[in-house]
Structure 1
Amino acid sequence: MKQGLHDAHGAGLPWHAARPAASRVPDRSGAAETRERADSASGVRGEHTHGEPPLPRPRAVVQRASVRGQVLDALRSALMTGELCPGEVYSAPVLGERFGVSATPVREAMQQLALEGAVEVVPNRGFRVVRRGPRELAELAEVRALLEVPVLLRLAGTVPAAHFAELRPLAEDTARAAAAGCPARYAEADRAFHRALLALAGNQQLLRISEDLHRRAQWPLLDTPPRRHRAVLLRDAAQHTALLDALATGDLDLVGDLVTEHFTHRD
Structure 2
Amino acid sequence: MAPVRHCVRDQVLAALRGALADGDLRPGEVHSAPQLAVRWGVSAGPVREAMHQLMSEGTIEAVPNRGFRICGLTARDLAELAELRAALEVPAITALARDLPPAHWVGLRPLADAAVTAAALGDGAAYAEADLAFHRELLAPAGNRQLVAVTQHLHRRSQAPVIGRPPRGAADLLADALEHGALLDALASGSPDRVERMAREHLTGC
Q: Output the TM-score relative to the length of structure 1.
A: 0.74
Larger RCO (alpha carbons 8 Å, 6+ apart): 2
Which protein is richer in helix relative to its size? 2
Structure 2 vs 1, CA of residues 78 and 70 (structure 1 numbering), >3 Å: closer, same or farther?
A: same
- Distance in structure 1 (CA, Å) of the matches to 2:23 and 2:163: 9
Question: What is the 5 A alignment of 1:64-213?
Answer: 64-213=5-154
The answer for the alignment partner of 2:2 in structure 1 is 61
Answer with 1 or 2: which has the greater Rg: 1
What letter corresponds to residue 192 of structure 2 in structure 1? L
- Distance in structure 2 (CA, Å) of the matches to 1:109 and 1:175: 27
Per-residue Cα deviation, 1:169-192 (whole angstroms, up to 9, x for no partner): 111111111111111111111111
Question: What is the 5 A alignment of 1:203-242?
Answer: 203-225=144-166, 229-242=169-182
- Distance in structure 2 (CA, Å) of the matches to 1:89 and 1:161: 48
- Distance in structure 1 (CA, Å) of the matches to 2:84 and 2:166: 26
- Distance in structure 2 (CA, Å) of the matches to 1:143 and 1:127: 27
| 8 Å CA contact retained: 2:23, 2:166 | no
The answer for the alignment partner of 1:247 in structure 2 is 187
- Distance in structure 2 (CA, Å) of the matches to 1:216 and 1:152: 21
1:225 is displaced (CA, Å) by 4.2
- Distance in structure 1 (CA, Å) of the matches to 2:5 and 2:193: 49
Question: What is the 5 A alignment of 1:29-48?
Answer: none
Structure 1 gap ranges (5+): 1-59
| 8 Å CA contact retained: 2:60, 2:69 | yes
SS in structure 1 at match of 2:68: strand
- Distance in structure 2 (CA, Å) of the matches to 1:82 and 1:225: 7
SS in structure 1 at match of 2:27: coil
1:231 is displaced (CA, Å) by 2.2
Structure 2 vs 1, CA of residues 95 and 225 (structure 1 numbering), >3 Å: closer, same or farther?
A: closer
Aligned length: 206
Structure 2 vs 1, CA of residues 110 and 225 (structure 1 numbering), >3 Å: closer, same or farther?
A: closer
- Distance in structure 2 (CA, Å) of the matches to 1:88 and 1:76: 15
Q: Output the TM-score relative to the length of structure 2.
A: 0.95
SS in structure 2 at match of 1:167: helix
Per-residue Cα deviation, 1:187-243 (whole angstroms, up to 9, x for no partner): 1111111111111212211111111111111123134345x6322211111111111
What letter corresponds to residue 85 of structure 1 in structure 2? R
What letter corresponds to residue 221 of structure 1 in structure 2? V
SS in structure 2 at match of 1:124: coil
